[in-house]
Chain A
Amino acid sequence: MKILTIGRNTFRENIRDKILYNLILFALLMILSSIALGQLTLGHEAKVIVDLGLGSISIFGTLIAIFIGISLVYKELEKRTVYALLAKPIHRWEFITGKYLGLLFTLLVNVAIMAAGLMLTLLYQGGIERYTYLNLLPAIYLTLLSLMVTTALALVFSTFSTPALSALFTFFLWVAGHFNADLLEFGNLAKTPGLKWLTRVFYYVIPNISNFKVIDSRNVIQAAAYFEPINYAALGWVTVYGILYSGILLGIAVLIFSRRDFK
């Protein structure tokens, strides 16, 4: 109950932040501009719109997650709003979890707005198979899962580091997360056992962001051409992975936050 109260306040704080509107506006402009780009590629309009649309949702969602996530806790410390609040009957883990859920809800709403923008763009384009709209949903769901992980990463850093450094760390891990599978491959080729071991550790520690890209425009658009266009088993595994990974990060954030002094 208290967690939800804290979450609601975080959501309200987020939606009164200008940065959010700027990012959403940009995302919607990107998605709209895909109509123009689509015209240049005769016959592939839908693919261009879906590619650009899903890409925009992912990129701008990540930007929102990082920009708001890194200051989520830091701002409360910097502005000293946390002093009065933590003297109330709440546990520190409730505070952190509430903040996290509040930002996740903000992201959910934002992604929904961007997704609506994408669907309207497809509708405007016209001549798109009906199942395409339905197939967009699992792809957007995966994006949300990846945002859950990115937000948790930003949250961990924001409990002990400045926004600039947190942004750097989070962004670095997010990029590294795209090449994670390659890293494992590289390790397997390596001769020295030490290197093999090291790449394996990195593989598990760094978030596997590429996991969240198991659905792309081909699965969405050409459903009829493939027997099983969307791999629901993979979807299930990625869900488990996303929840576990974020859960562990949230636990780390709580641990750091619970131990620290508020000087």
Chain B
Amino acid sequence: MAAIEIEHLTKDFYAGFWRKRPIRALDGLSLRVEAGEIFGFLGPNGAGKTTTLKLLMNLIRPTAGSARILGQPVDSVSMRRNIGYLPENPYFYDHLTPEELLTYIGTLFGIRQPVLRKKILELLETVGLAEARKLQLRKFSKGMVQRVGIAQALINDPEVVFLDEPMSGLDPLGRREVRLVISSLRTRGATVFFSSHILPDVEALCDRVAIMNRGKLLELGALLDILKVKIQGHEIILAHVQPAVLEALRPMCEEITLMSDRVHIRAATSRQAGAIVSQAVSGGAELVSVNPIRASLEEYFFQEVQKS
């Protein structure tokens, strides 16, 4: 059984005060996420990621299409026992402490006291809030609230976890911690569906991604398969290159840039990069680095947006 099935999901919002014009926030999205997958849902701002997640949480109703989670329609209350959700830029009752909030939410799941207590301490430890657990949320920074949000999404050991921009508002350390949390969910066999626009986070975690733009699905598959097609080539950095050696290399290079004592070379293929490096090194040059040139997600979006 698929963990998440989305079929032709479409959502129009009506904006404007006098004449209500529809804005198509999501346009006929269809996709399937298998159980145990870590699935990245990518796209620039306004792509329709949050709209999709809200539709899946039944917070808004679709204009057309349907979705199922764990085989149940999204309005099934019993299905929600087995899922977790972190909203975008979450906010919680600021008169509560993390401990109180998690107790409140855990009780809604019907988790019994001694088990719940233990679970809460464990979760607060995981998200790095053990020390702040008796502090009212009104005193929390954005990053800390985000951590509380992740904890509340995991209180019921969900089978499917939905995270809307889980890394937003976090410092690099916090991002690393969240990556670890998501990896540990994978180990537990949970399905994770998370939206993001930060490439390294996605690259390190996801089995598959969907790339969205303006409410439409552009690509679906393994991230590297999608990005590899776009730009290839390698950047080679050399030091101590004799002028004669450089002249000999010139026909093999796409582009040569001289930077003080270094030479930056762009090679079109990896075969060519290999040849350049061996010839330069045998000519007495020092190899500083070789790096593949890959389109970043931002560049990818930029290209796509220009196309459309």
Contacts and interface: CB of A to CB of B under 8 A. Distances in A.
A218 interface: no
A105 B51 CA distance: 37
Interface string B71-99: 00000011011010111011111111000
Interface in B205-222: none
Which among A12, A89, A261, A262 has the highest number of chain B CB atoms within 10 Å? Answer: A89
B279 to A, nearest CB: 60
Interface string A69-99: 0000000000111011111111100000000
Contacts of B87: 80, 83-84, 87
A261 B61 contact: yes
Interface stretch (B27-35, B52-60, B269-277, B297-305): B52-60
A83 B61 contact: no
A162 to B, nearest CB: 15
Contact of B108 (A12, A17, A90, A262): A90
B91 to A, nearest CB: 5
A130 interface: no
Given A5-B108, A88-B80, A13 B59 contact: no
B154 to A, nearest CB: 12
Given A261-B60, A263-B13, A87 B80 contact: yes
A86 B152 CA distance: 13
B231 interface: no
A262 B80 CA distance: 17
Nearest to A17: B95
B180 interface: no
Interface residues of B, number: 34
Contacts of A16: 95
Interface string A1-35: 11001100100110011000000000000000000
Contacts of A262: 54, 59-60
B105 interface: yes
A261 B91 CA distance: 18
Nearest to B87: A83
B40 interface: no
B30 to A, nearest CB: 22
Contacts of B60: 261-263
Nearest to B76: A89
Nearest to A6: B108
Given A86-B59, A90-B77, A81 B92 contact: yes
Contact of B80 (A1, A79, A89): A89
Interface in A54-82: 79-81
B85 A84 contact: yes
Nearest to A1: B110
Contacts of B80: 87-89
Contacts of A12: 95-96, 100
Contacts of B109: 88-89
Nearest to B148: A84
A179 to B, nearest CB: 35
B57 A86 contact: yes
A81 B93 contact: yes
A91 B58 CA distance: 11
Contacts of A5: 104, 107-108
Contacts of A13: 93, 95
5 contacts: A83-B57, A84-B86, A84-B149, A87-B83, A261-B59
User: 9 shortest A-B CB distances, which residue pairs?
Assistant: A87-B85, A83-B87, A261-B60, A16-B95, A89-B80, A262-B59, A87-B57, A5-B107, A89-B81
Given A2-B108, A12-B100, 16 more contacts: A12-B96, A13-B93, A79-B94, A80-B89, A80-B90, A81-B93, A83-B87, A84-B153, A87-B57, A87-B58, A87-B83, A87-B85, A89-B78, A89-B109, A262-B59, A263-B60
